[in-house]
Amino acid sequence: MIAGISRVRNESLILKDTLEHFSKHCDHIFIYDDCSTDDSVKIMQQFKNVTIIKGKEWSQNQWQEETKHRGLLLDIVKKSKKYEMCLCFDADERLMGKLPKTTGGYSVDLFDGYLTKDLNKPYKSGRLSQLSRMWGPECREILVFFDPTKAKYDKAGQREPSYSGKIKKTHVKIKHFGKCLSVEHWEETCDFYSRYFPQWAEKWERRKGKAIHIKSDFGAELYNWNDLLCLKY
């Protein structure tokens, strides 16, 4: 069985689609709600396969909180002893491809989507995975699918856990929509990271007012998704 784990705060815009998407990959999903002030909890409560752990107090020290919350969720999965594998995801991510059927540790390539002059209509509803955007060729190789007994979150700011087993590469890809939902969301993201992640503040301050892209944040040409996959693979 596969357990999904995620932490959310104020993701009501995309959360229904997120849970529908990852319910196709996971038998059960455990979510830490970091004191949402929108309808996120109400949306999660509509799903029978979702267990919600509600935060009691929101902390500005998000660098530490990310690790703490994911560690708490992973401990719940471990203690249940029901799940052979764990999938860690963020609400603004979508898996492209099928997860491996064997146990172990598996990394995926995560790509950023971007708003451009021709493709910048704000996302309002529907299947986020099908949102028409341009993509940067840079990718982050991230361990997201793993044997929970060999994983732990023990360092600040961990998106992926420390893992004691062998890590294999998969053909699964992740589309990350966090930079391309809308111009408004881009500005909110810039404010959030510049305020609560001091180590990245300067970078995100420079990105304010620059939601519409000609190139990626790293200076590379942008591609549609199919052309990107041909380029990379």
Rama region for 127: left / alpha / beta (φ>0; ψ in -120 to 50; rest): beta
pLDDT at 108 over 80: yes
Distance of alpha carbon 217 from alpha carbon 202, whole angstroms: 14
How far is the CA of 18 from the CAs of 22, 62, 192, 193, in angstroms?
Answer: 6, 22, 21, 22
- pTM, two decimals, is 0.94
Class of 2-176 per CATH?
alpha beta
Q: Could you report the per-residue pLDDT of 176-197, keeping only the tens digit for each?
A: 999 999 999 999 999 999 998 8
Q: What are phi and psi of 190, to 5 degrees?
A: -60, -45
Confidence band for 213, pLDDT divided at 50, 70 and 90:
very high
Long-range contacts of 192-195 (CB under 8 A, 24+ apart): 195/60
Contact, 175 vs 8, CB < 8 A?
Answer: no
Q: Residue range 141-169: average pLDDT?
A: 94
How far is the CA of 208 from the CAs of 39, 77, 179, in angstroms?
Answer: 27, 38, 12
Q: Which pair of structure tokens corresponds to residue 87?
A: 């999938």
Show me where the domains of the chain are located. 2-176
Distance of alpha carbon 186 from alpha carbon 215, whole angstroms: 16
Q: Could you report the per-residue pLDDT of 34-44, keeping only the tens digit for each?
A: 999 999 999 99
Please calculate the CA angle 74-78-79 and round it to the nearest 5 degrees: 120
What amino acid occupies position 133?
Answer: R
pLDDT at 232 over 80: no
Comparing 59 with 150, the larger pLDDT belongs to 150
Distance of alpha carbon 216 from alpha carbon 173, whole angstroms: 18
